[in-house]
A and B are shown apart, each in its own frame.
Chain A
């Protein structure tokens, strides 16, 4: 029988949750022991997707209880989690923020990677269009996240703005503890070069994201 570390994480998260004194989002029957038992018997390794993916870090454990996480009493905890995530952010190694927006568009379009049908050696995509409108000419976009059209044109390229966008892409939870957005840099989904290309997609004046809008639609 494998040692399931996530049970340990659940038990460690217990005192923190009871501090906020919020009832969990689920009722009787789904306590930690029963839930851990269910996880232990319900999944198996496949391809690159191993059962160790069920072991949660602090952020995942906290955000898996949405009522507790959104409780006003958890505000300090949320800030602490944001700070812990911000601490993971690796800034560009050469101080340059922007890469090639054309490559950024390709990375944003690609949803490849990290599933059990993906191979470990192929570069991952950013999945960005699954959640965001980005280039105005791409109509196949999701709405889980806000539109990023005109992103750079609206904000400019101050150091503060570039840092915030970099932090968001590198580790989305650095700015919003329970963001729906994955932590592309921190989780090793995207590398520095890829993030620079995405930054260019958002900020380069030549990027279609920042093209002057045409006649009213």
Chain B
């Protein structure tokens, strides 16, 4: 049985057990989810995406027929180990604060001569974004067990943090939702889904340390940009442009709040 179906079997077995509980129904559902997570610790389908991502990193591509192995993710050209735990950060060459996915686009353009536009505009389930999701899985896995080390120092990093904070509280759309509506109070949940308190260190760490993540119910590998995209959709906002400043600012807000916690990427989610 491959890893995915072992996972599904574990989920179904645990779900069945949870369903027989009579009155402690919410607790049983919660226990079910937690036991399911434990059962999957040893086999994360994200590993398949990490392998694909590593191949994309090392394979020459684009008009310049170059690999990404000279890409500087903040620790010097080609240094992948530990890079994800230190993003977002300011980069001298672009004079911008960048998260992983925007930095990948920079490298794909400068090293490989690729046009970033198809990558930006593609749906998250389309091949160009599948490349981004796989690369994100691979690079994030190379920071697994590292401490998150994001401390805004450069003036643009500090500005990005404050912009991210302001964006977090920005209400709009027909429901008046902001990120804070769902993620801005301790100990609340939507339906049975516990939601982290993102302005605090523990809540920020819960989210920031576990994405990119493999979502079992969807059978998809989601990068953090994808996670933000879907939250904005539920927020009834217009669509965020892929790797736009608003998404990087929010990432800076979350990563800095999470700083010190341990990276657990790539994660696995229900």
Cβ contacts A20-49/B at 8 Å (1 or 0 each): 000011111110001100110111111001
Question: From residue B90, how far is it (CB to closest CB) to chain A in Å?
Answer: 13
9-residue interface stretch from B178-186, B211-219, B261-269: B178-186
B3 interface contact, C-beta 8 A: no
Contact size range, B: 35 or more
A90 interface contact, C-beta 8 A: no
- Nearest-neighbor residue (CB-CB) of A28 within chain B: B162
Interface residues of B in 6-52 (CB under 8 A from A): 23, 25-26, 29
Question: From residue B25, how far is it (CB to closest CB) to chain A in Å?
Answer: 4
Interface residues of B in 235-255 (CB under 8 A from A): 236-241, 244-247, 249
List, in ascending order, chain A residues with CB within 8 A of B158's CB. Answer: 27-29
B76 interface contact, C-beta 8 A: no
Cβ contacts B158-185/A at 8 Å (1 or 0 each): 1111110111011111111110111011
Q: Which of B159, B175, B176, B244 lies in contact with A29, CB distance below 8 A?
A: B159
Contact indicator A29/B23 (Cβ below 8 Å): no
List, in ascending order, chain B residues with CB within 8 A of A188's CB. Answer: 174
List, in ascending order, chain A residues with CB within 8 A of B175's CB. Answer: 114, 127, 182, 187, 189
Contact indicator B188/A26 (Cβ below 8 Å): no
Known: A53-B237, A115-B233, A115-B234. A130 touches B166 (CB 8 A): no
List, in ascending order, chain A residues with CB within 8 A of B192's CB. Answer: 139-141
Contact indicator A144/B185 (Cβ below 8 Å): yes
Bound Cα distance A140, B189 (Å): 10
A191 interface contact, C-beta 8 A: no
A-B contact list, 16 entries, CB within 8 Å = A26-B162, A27-B161, A29-B159, A30-B163, A34-B159, A35-B163, A49-B237, A64-B170, A114-B173, A116-B233, A116-B238, A127-B175, A129-B191, A131-B190, A144-B182, A182-B176
Q: Interface of A with B (CB < 8 Å)?
A: 24-30, 34-35, 38-39, 41-46, 49-51, 53-56, 59-60, 63-66, 114-117, 127, 129-131, 139-144, 173, 180, 182-183, 187-189, 217
